[in-house]
Chain A
């Protein structure tokens, strides 16, 4: 698996310049915002997912998956390495976001740890959520259709939030509310682990049976 992770890192390396330009841009935008770190925290991990999807496009363009399937343990390791590298890049970009938020806050002097922590949890969860849903589609249908799925998921999420805010006066049993507020973080962690695990096994199943 290490070899395949390296291969993806070498591919991502080619886009580092764009990533840095983008980071700088958002850094400057954030400096001029009232809320510190709010945009950078979410944007950078999201950007890494977009970059990961672009590795799928390059892979498909040169029929890499066909070649990889004929390498020792190729099929299994392709799926494993894609999930692993996404995990690594998401963590790294989240750390970078925190670092930037920290600098911005120091410059502007309105640093709030609790606010940053909630952004951080939100962005990591959003990344896991996106990866979990998109990757099985990417392995099944390829990156072109995968992009459509991202668009569909984003629209549906926004739609759901709007819908929820409209019907928020619906009475939620107080017992559920207390569970959500008390164990929110724990529930998020459990949900994330569960989602990514299920997603990984679905992708693995799709990819081991796929023909090239």
Chain B
């Protein structure tokens, strides 16, 4: 199996009414998969299900990892708002993790701490939000994982550090057996590093495609009311009326631009895609 994770018919029903799924998803080995979606769409629920932090109501999740007895040995994690108690120090984390992960590499851990300018002897509670995130990232990488599962790993980081962290993720991907699944609402990060995009909306996967395919294929047609009326319904995926123009999300942008002469079709960013899909209206 060349998929590192296979999710079949995953459903998680909460008592408060939120329902994730049913989701069928395959995460191929060797690529970076980005999960996008608005807050509360189900990204964290999906990640927690994969990591066994919550139990799915239905469905199966299979991880194809060498260490079948303890697959989590090979998974590095960064969770949103969950880590070691803040009265501990990075040094304490190193000492504890030595006996938690078989492959814990103290030298590598301290190398990351030095790169991130994190002091080993200080309590986590004295760190800024960005420093904490960096410490979590260092911790996730220090046991030589093959799979990284990261929930909002770059939130709270300034652009310079974010860039630094993304470089570390790309360095991690130098080994072609390595895989990253990360969720983020900073979609520009994914434009830099992701190979594949999974878009979650209201607990369901609404789009799952290679990033380049999305960026090359989709476009935003900007037009006025009059032009909008001429567009055939099946060509409109989503549209959003703004003050001076209407933005229409279209697929096959080259075909569309030939079909509608004088149309202006802009390149799409993942952020546009997210906003139009969430805030926009559908005709069909």
Q: Which of B52, B70, B86, B100 contacts A4 (CB 8 A)?
A: B100
Q: Which residues from A are CB-within-8-Å of B84?
A: 7, 62, 64, 67
User: Is A70 touching B77 in the complex (CB atoms < 8 A)?
Assistant: yes
Q: A72-B70, A72-B101 are in contact. List 11 more A-B contacts (CB 8 A).
A: A6-B96, A7-B92, A10-B95, A11-B87, A59-B85, A63-B83, A66-B53, A66-B79, A72-B100, A73-B70, A211-B55
User: Is A212 touching B54 in the complex (CB atoms < 8 A)?
Assistant: yes
Q: A54: nearest residue on chain B (CB-CB)?
A: B87
The 5 closest A-B pairs by CB, nearest first: A3-B99, A63-B82, A3-B100, A10-B92, A58-B85
Q: Which residues from A are CB-within-8-Å of B53?
A: 66, 69-70, 211-212
Interface status of A142 (Cβ within 8 A of chain B): no
A85 CB to closest chain B CB (Å) equals 12
Contact mask for chain A residues 1-35; partner B; CB cutoff 8 A; 1 contact, 0 none: 01110110011001000000000000000000000
Contact mask for chain A residues 43-64; partner B; CB cutoff 8 A; 1 contact, 0 none: 0000000000001001101111
User: Is B97 touching A3 in the complex (CB atoms < 8 A)?
Assistant: yes
Residues of A at under 8 Å CB distance from B?
2-4, 6-7, 10-11, 14, 55, 58-59, 61-64, 66-67, 69-74, 209, 211-212
| A11 and B85 in contact, given A4-B100, A66-B53, A71-B100 (Cβ under 8 angstroms) | yes
Q: A10: nearest residue on chain B (CB-CB)?
A: B92
Q: Which residues from B are CB-within-8-Å of A58?
A: 85-87
B106 CB to closest chain A CB (Å) equals 13
Q: Which of A6, A66, A73 contacts B82 (CB 8 A)?
A: A66
Given the complex of chains A and B, what is the CA–CA distance between A61 and B92 in angstroms? 18
User: Is A7 touching B96 in the complex (CB atoms < 8 A)?
Assistant: yes
A–B complex contacts, Cβ < 8 Å, 7 sampled: A6-B92, A6-B95, A7-B88, A14-B87, A59-B85, A64-B83, A67-B84
User: Is B54 touching A64 in the complex (CB atoms < 8 A)?
Assistant: no
A21 CB to closest chain B CB (Å) equals 18
A132 CB to closest chain B CB (Å) equals 24
| A3 and B96 in contact, given A58-B85, A64-B84, A212-B82 (Cβ under 8 angstroms) | yes
B18 CB to closest chain A CB (Å) equals 13
Q: Which residues from B are CB-within-8-Å of A14?
A: 87
* A/B pair count, beta carbons within 8 Å: 82
User: Is A211 touching B75 in the complex (CB atoms < 8 A)?
Assistant: no
Dominant secondary structure at the B interface = loop
Given the complex of chains A and B, what is the CA–CA distance between A59 and B77 in angstroms? 18
Q: Which residues from B are CB-within-8-Å of A71?
A: 72, 100-101
Given the complex of chains A and B, what is the CA–CA distance between A81 and B88 in angstroms? 17
Q: Which residues from A are CB-within-8-Å of B55?
A: 209, 211
User: Is B82 touching A11 in the complex (CB atoms < 8 A)?
Assistant: no
Given the complex of chains A and B, what is the CA–CA distance between A197 and B70 in angstroms? 26
Given the complex of chains A and B, what is the CA–CA distance between A135 and B73 in angstroms? 28
B214 CB to closest chain A CB (Å) equals 30
Given the complex of chains A and B, what is the CA–CA distance between A10 and B82 in angstroms? 18
Identify which of B48, B87, B98, B101 gathers the most chain A CB atoms within 10 Å of its CB: B87
Interface status of B25 (Cβ within 8 A of chain A): no
Q: B98: nearest residue on chain A (CB-CB)?
A: A3
Given the complex of chains A and B, what is the CA–CA distance between A120 and B89 in angstroms? 36
Q: Which residues from A are CB-within-8-Å of B98?
A: 3
Q: B78: nearest residue on chain A (CB-CB)?
A: A67
Q: Which residues from A are CB-within-8-Å of B85?
A: 11, 55, 58-59, 61-62, 64
Q: List B43-90 residues whose CB lies under 8 Å from chain A.
A: 48, 51-55, 70, 72-73, 75, 77, 79, 81-89
Q: B71: nearest residue on chain A (CB-CB)?
A: A72
Q: Which of A10, A55, A59, A63 contacts B81 (CB 8 A)?
A: A63
Q: A212: nearest residue on chain B (CB-CB)?
A: B53
Identify which of B51, B55, B85, B86 gathers the most chain A CB atoms within 10 Å of its CB: B85
| A70 and B72 in contact, given A59-B85, A64-B83 (Cβ under 8 angstroms) | yes
